[in-house]
Chains A and B, each alone.
Chain A
Amino acid sequence: MRNEDNISLADQLSRKAFSLVYRVIILGVGTLILLSQENALFPYVYVIGIVLYILLFRFIILRDNWHISLLRLLADFSLIYLVLFDKDIEIILNYFFLLLPVINAPNHSGKKSHLLYPLSLGMIYLLSERSLNETLYLPIFIMIGVNKFRDFRNNLLEQRQSLIQILIRFFSENHDFRGFHKVYDLLIARINNNKYSGHLINLEVDLIACFVLKNDKLLLINSSKFIRSYKVQKELGLIKKLRESGYETNSPITLVSQNFTDTLFIRSSLEGSEFVFLFRLPASSFGAINSKLLLFFFRPICGYLHMVLHYHMEQRKNIDSTIERVRKQQNYVLKSMNVMHFVRNKLSPIKTYLNLGQIKPQLEKEKEEEFQILTERSRTKAQRQLSNITKRADFILEKSDNPFIISTVQKRLLNHLFSQIRFNWSSFFDTQDFDIVITEEFSEINISYNVEVMDIVLVDLLRNMQKYGSNPKLTFIEDPKDIIIFLNNKLNSTTAKTYNKAKQISSSYNSEDNWEINKRTSHGLILVKSYLKQMNIQSEIIVKNSYFIFKMIIPKI
């Protein structure tokens, strides 16, 4: 069930509850009047009236259509008329009783409310013996005014809320930024369909555009119509006014060689980013009230759109930085491959020099002189190429050029790491078997690591756990100096082959003398170990019974 459906259901239930309470009040006040005042009719007439009223509501209280609604209204007025028949309506209680339907007007809806006021006025006229005393009618007219104003306000709120609903629905169904501009068309259609459009506040929009405000320049991001070229006139002045008041009307802009002044610019700021939204309103006059009404409508939309755009752009930045990191790594790998290619080429003279040494003992005597010349020349070349190879190898050995070397670690709270693990965990597993054996508050324990690199490590480890094991479990324990994390899982197979393979991975990984693990069995663990080492996190793989356990020891700081 959608959110709007829930709201609609809640609204219906509250209306029914109010309706019931309202009828109870009518019955209560009516009974009080009947018991406390002299009545013109026989008591059984009132009893029959009240019983019929109750029976009527017993059967129709839960039904909701226009006819039933009208029947309820007529029943209310009938009972009120019966109770007040031939009574003094200038008595406060009686007059209050008479006013009850008008007081309850906010809970009325639709066509029924059109009858409410004439019926109330007509009943006063009849019960006051056709008196035209204005004091009897004035409260009704005041109530009509108040109710109409409230209806107007509620309608504006509903209209505004409907625009927000369009945004919520659109962005929950569309995640592709390239189609972002389509939401403007939906907004424009909804705004221009507003029932107040054209007479009360002249609400008609024919263009929405979004600009990012950077370095005192408005840069177009997207718009409801394709805009090939634009020029914001008096740009600096407009930006100054937008920063002062948050909006500006009638500021000129040139869109594809056409000048427009029927504009409303609204500025929105969020977490240091500034966006400006342009609404072109061809039918609007920007009087003070109209401007306020326009802002009432458009500001929340701008805030929402800004929030979506801002987070999208932040996400884009993160993606870009990841792409940049991967690109650097890819370049590094390509350069390393080139280095290896280079080295192989340059090794040729060295290899020839070695060949000369191997061949010399079997050499025929008449070739010795020429052989000697060749040996000398080859030695010189070999020496020169050895120097070239050494210089080129420095590229691979130079840490600052290596994107796989972590340059920074950040001081973080343990709860950040825990949240990070839990977040990654949820991408791989449907269960959360976590055992936390730490008495201290997570928010009081500081550790240091690189967040992005830890993500790579976790994804690698958890993917392996998902692929090769079952029953995943996470355990956090602490000793005075360290936080120890265990990622346990049960091996998928209990065969000796699987166990031996796990053991082999474990011993390769744990070996400090030669931790270069065989590529075919490492499952990417070479990089994991390298990254953890660089973050000063000790790690170990334990294979015990049928369990494969990855242990990390993170020093507290």
Chain B
Amino acid sequence: MPKIAIFENEFELLKDTFDLANLVYYNGDLEFNVFQTSQEFGDIDKIDEYDKILLDIDLAPTSEKDGFGILKEISSYSNIEKVIIITGDSNIETKLDSKGLSKPPILKKPIDVSDLVQYLQL
């Protein structure tokens, strides 16, 4: 039973994609928790509880860290194999490079449900 953490401040726009994936490909067994801010997630060691981390770069304005900050924290805690970036920013690769961050798989919005499933199975 895959368990995923989703860092996303506009999850309402993506909810149907995840519901569809869950219904069709996971028979409702997909468990996902959504965090609009970094502080909602709490201690970074909770990463271990999840199979995948889906990370948007733009989080809620009240978030202490943006997606880059969270990615940096995950990198320093463990490896980033679990991380998938979901973003509408077409320039994300350059931004990751300029910040010297590792490049996890990137899922660009609008997300196709089959791509989502494929990435979750990586």
- Judge whether A351 and B89 touch: CB under 8 Å: no
- Judge whether A381 and B88 touch: CB under 8 Å: no
Tell which of A316-324, A341-349, A483-491 binds the partner. A341-349
Name 17 interchain pairs, CB-CB below 8 A, sorted by A. Answer: A337-B91, A340-B88, A341-B88, A342-B88, A345-B13, A345-B110, A348-B17, A348-B111, A349-B13, A351-B17, A352-B110, A355-B17, A355-B112, A371-B23, A377-B16, A381-B13, A381-B16
Q: A341-B89, A344-B88 are in contact. List 8 more A-B contacts (CB 8 A).
A: A344-B90, A344-B109, A351-B110, A352-B20, A355-B113, A355-B114, A367-B23, A374-B20
**In B86-120, which residues have CB < 8 Å from any A CB?**
88-91, 108-114
Cβ contacts A361-404/B at 8 Å (1 or 0 each): 00100010011001001100100010000000000000000000
For residue B19, CB closer than 8 A to chain A, the reply is yes
Q: How many residues of B contact A (CB 8 A)?
A: 21
* CB contact between A344 and one of B19, B20, B24, B110 (< 8 Å): that residue: B110
Interface residues of A (CB under 8 A from B): 337, 340-353, 355-356, 359, 363, 367, 370-371, 374, 377-378, 381, 385
- Judge whether A374 and B19 touch: CB under 8 Å: yes
Chain B residues, CB < 8 A from A355? 17, 20, 112-114
Which residue among B88, B113, B114 has the maximum number of chain A CB atoms within 10 Å of its CB? B88
Given contacts A352-B16, A355-B17, A377-B16, contact A347 B23 (CB under 8 A): no
For residue B10, CB closer than 8 A to chain A, the reply is yes
- Judge whether B113 and A350 touch: CB under 8 Å: no
A-B Cβ contacts below 8 A, count: 66
Complex Cα gap A355–B14 (Å): 13
Chain A residues, CB < 8 A from B10? 345
Nearest residue in A to B10 (C-beta to C-beta)?
A345
Chain A residues, CB < 8 A from B90? 340-341, 344
What's the least CB distance linking B91 to chain A, in Å?
8
Complex Cα gap A385–B10 (Å): 13
Nearest residue in B to A382 (C-beta to C-beta)?
B16
Nearest residue in A to B25 (C-beta to C-beta)?
A359
What's the least CB distance linking B26 to chain A, in Å?
11
- Judge whether B109 and A378 touch: CB under 8 Å: no
Nearest residue in A to B28 (C-beta to C-beta)?
A370
What's the least CB distance linking B77 to chain A, in Å?
28
Given contacts A341-B89, A367-B23, contact A347 B113 (CB under 8 A): no
- Judge whether B110 and A359 touch: CB under 8 Å: no
Complex Cα gap A356–B113 (Å): 9
- Judge whether A370 and B16 touch: CB under 8 Å: no
Complex Cα gap A355–B89 (Å): 22
Which residue among A337, A345, A349, A371 has the maximum number of chain B CB atoms within 10 Å of its CB? A345
- Judge whether B24 and A363 touch: CB under 8 Å: yes
Complex Cα gap A346–B109 (Å): 9
